[in-house]
Structure 1
Amino acid sequence: MSKTAVIALGGNALLRGDQKGTIQEQVANTVDTIESIIPLIQKGYNLVIGHGNGPQVGNILMQQAAGADSYSIPEFPLDVCVAESQGSIGYMIASALRNVMAKHGLNREVCCLVTPVVVDRDDAAFSNPTKRVGRIYTQEQADGLAKEKGWVFKEEVRQTGSGWRRVVPSPKPVDVLNAPLVKRLAEEGVIVIAVGGGGVPVAKGEKGTIEPIEAVIDKDSASSLLAAEIGADEFYILTDVPNVYINFRKPDEKKLAQVTIAEVDKYLAEGMFGEGNMAPKIRACKDFLQKGGKVSVITEATKLADPTCGTRITL
Structure 2
Amino acid sequence: MRVVIAVGGNAMTAADGSARPADQQAAIETAVEPVAELISAGHQVVLTHGNGPQVGNLLVKNELAAAVVPPVPLDWCGAQTQATVGLLMLNALDRALAARGSKVRTATVVSRTEVAADDPGFAAPSKPIGRYLSQAEAAVMAGHGQHWQDRGERGWRRVVASPEPVRCLDAPAVLALLAAGFAVVCSGGGGIPVVADGSPSGYRGVEAVIDKDLTAALLAGTLAADRLVIATDVEHAVLGWGTEHARPLTGIGVGELEALIARGEFTSGSMEPKVLAACRFARRSGKPAAITSLGAIAAALAGTAGTIVHPDRLDPV
Once the two structures are TM-superposed, the CA of residue 152 in structure 1 deviates from its matched residue by 1.4
Unaligned runs of 5+ in 1: none
Which residues of 2 match residues 1-315 of structure 1 at below 5 A?
Answer: 3-16=1-14, 18-69=16-67, 72-146=68-142, 148-156=143-151, 162-206=154-198, 207-306=200-299, 307=302, 308-315=304-311
Once the two structures are TM-superposed, the CA of residue 181 in structure 1 deviates from its matched residue by 1.6
CA–CA distance in structure 1, aligned partners of residues 282 and 150 of structure 2:
37
Letter in 2 for 1:53: N
8 Å contact kept, 1:233–1:293: no
CA–CA distance in structure 1, aligned partners of residues 18 and 271 of structure 2:
25
Give me the TM-score of the superposition, normalised by structure 1: 0.93
CA–CA distance in structure 1, aligned partners of residues 85 and 40 of structure 2:
24
Once the two structures are TM-superposed, the CA of residue 156 in structure 1 deviates from its matched residue by 4.5
CA–CA distance in structure 2, aligned partners of residues 18 and 60 of structure 1:
19
CA–CA distance in structure 2, aligned partners of residues 29 and 156 of structure 1:
32
Indicate the SS of the match to 2:166.
strand
Letter in 2 for 1:37: V
Indicate the SS of the match to 2:5.
strand
CA–CA distance in structure 2, aligned partners of residues 177 and 298 of structure 1:
25
8 Å contact kept, 2:7–2:230: yes
CA–CA distance in structure 1, aligned partners of residues 286 and 48 of structure 2:
17
CA–CA distance in structure 2, aligned partners of residues 213 and 293 of structure 1:
33
CA–CA distance in structure 2, aligned partners of residues 203 and 281 of structure 1:
24
Indicate the SS of the match to 1:132.
strand
CA–CA distance in structure 1, aligned partners of residues 212 and 244 of structure 2:
32
CA–CA distance in structure 2, aligned partners of residues 153 and 64 of structure 1:
15
Indicate the SS of the match to 2:172.
helix
CA–CA distance in structure 1, aligned partners of residues 52 and 126 of structure 2:
14
Letter in 2 for 1:217: I
Residues 30-83 of structure 1: CA distance to partner in whole angstroms, max 9, x if unpaired? 1111112233113211110110001101111211222333xx133221111110
Q: CA RMSD in A?
A: 1.6
Identity value in percent: 36
Letter in 1 for 2:196: K
Once the two structures are TM-superposed, the CA of residue 143 in structure 1 deviates from its matched residue by 3.6
User: After the TM superposition, which segments of 4 or more aligned residues of structure 1 sit over 6 Å from their partners?
Assistant: none
